């Protein structure tokens, strides 16, 4: 089977985002960027399915400006067979991304699409579910285990209160949770090899998707600062303060 893995270039997860002075957005100039952590898990899962003989081809796809090809090269170095870059300078919403990806699903007809459950920049947690809706496929979100059978895939999902397992008809859409796997690092020889793997570039405008904004970003603010706390000497003082000052116990 063929697996499609959409990935996203985002701010590195260790970097604390700063709001621009004019409140128009978060400042991403000169900030370290990386592959979204949940997307790394998606790539890893696809590669493992290939290593297990379940998958025959892994295709990585991303949507974004020219720089996002760096993350595609990373995906190729990790073991993806080919990459597709949908090029756009626009800042797209989840619905746009899902629509563009549905065109790639049409073109590539993968039996399984594995995405991260959310990107750590917009924190939307929407694209996988939207892609499932647009392609008329079943969805296994927040996956902590993926078990491909003939014609179906069993997905164990991390839900509030525990775990739930669902069986989806293939073709299907899966989104990854943190505990699905531990992503590998790319080795230097594989990074070199990745440079020769095919990378197809498609202009987003050429896919016939309406990319007009549906959400207007009015402004972006710093979260309310917490007032500075105090360091207490011992447990007795702590309990005393919680009782009489904070009045929470």
Partner 1 sequence: MKTLVIAEHDNGVLKPETHKTMTAAVKLGFDVDLLLAGENLAAMSEKAASIAGVSNVLVADDTAYAHQLAENVADLVLSLSDNYSHIVASATTTGKNFMPRVAALLDVAQISEIIDVIDADTFKRPIYAGNAIATVKSLDTKKVITVRASSFDVAAEQAPVSVSAIDSKGSVGLSEFVSQEQTESERPELTAAPVVISGGRGMQNGENFALLNGIADKLGAAIGASRAAVDAGFVPNDMQVGQTGKIVAPDLYIAVGISGAIQHLAGMKDSKVIVAINKDPDAPIFQVADYGLVADLFDVLPELENAL
* Contact set for partner 1, span 160-189 (CB under 8 A): 160-169, 172, 177-179
Best CA proximity match to 4, nearest among 87, 124, 98: 98
Residue 230 touching partner 1 (CB under 8 A)? yes
Residue 239 touching partner 1 (CB under 8 A)? yes
Residue 221 touching partner 1 (CB under 8 A)? yes
Residue 234 touching partner 1 (CB under 8 A)? yes
**Among residues 56 and 124, whose Cβ is nearest to partner 1?**
124
Residue pair 1/111 in contact by the 8 Å Cβ criterion = yes
Determine if residue 173 is left, alpha or beta; phi over 0 gives left, psi from -120 to 50 gives alpha, anything else beta: beta
**Among residues 79 and 116, whose Cβ is nearest to partner 1?**
116
- Single residue of 90, 103, 108, 122 touching partner 1 by CB under 8 A: 122
Residue 33 touching partner 1 (CB under 8 A)? no
**Among residues 89 and 233, whose Cβ is nearest to partner 1?**
233
Counted residue by residue, the chain has a size of 249
Residue 120 touching partner 1 (CB under 8 A)? yes
- As to burial, measured by CB atoms within 10 angstroms (0-12 exposed, 13-18 middle, 19+ buried), residue 112 is buried
Residues 49 and 134: their CA atoms lie apart, in Å, by 25
């Amino acid at each position: 089977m063929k697996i499609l893995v959409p990935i996203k270039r985002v701010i590195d997860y260790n970097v604390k985002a700063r709001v621009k002075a004019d409140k128009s957005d978060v400042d991403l100039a000169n900030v370290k960027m990386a592959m979204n952590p949940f997307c790394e898990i998606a790539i890893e899962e696809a590669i493992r399915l290939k290593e297990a003989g379940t998958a025959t081809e892994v295709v990585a796809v991303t949507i974004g400006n020219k720089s996002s090809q760096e993350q595609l090269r990373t995906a190729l170095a990790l073991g993806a067979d080919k990459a597709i870059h949908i090029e756009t300078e626009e800042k797209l919403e989840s619905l746009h991304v899902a629509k563009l990806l549905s065109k790639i699903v049409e073109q590539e007809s993968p039996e399984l699409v594995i995405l991260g459950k959310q990107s750590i920049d917009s924190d939307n947690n929407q694209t996988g579910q939207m892609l499932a809706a647009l392609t008329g496929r079943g969805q296994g979100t927040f996956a902590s285990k993926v078990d491909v059978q003939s014609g179906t895939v069993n997905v164990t999902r991390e839900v509030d209160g525990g775990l739930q397992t669902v069986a989806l008809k293939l073709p299907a859409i899966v989104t990854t949770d943190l505990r699905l796997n531990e992503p590998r690092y790319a080795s230097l020889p594989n990074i070199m090899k990745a440079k020769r793997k095919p990378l197809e570039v498609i202009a987003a405008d050429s896919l016939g998707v309406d990319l007009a904004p549906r959400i207007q970003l009015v402004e972006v603010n710093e979260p309310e600062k917490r007032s500075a706390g105090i360091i207490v000497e011992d447990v007795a003082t702590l309990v005393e303060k919680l009782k009489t000052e904070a009045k929470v116990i």
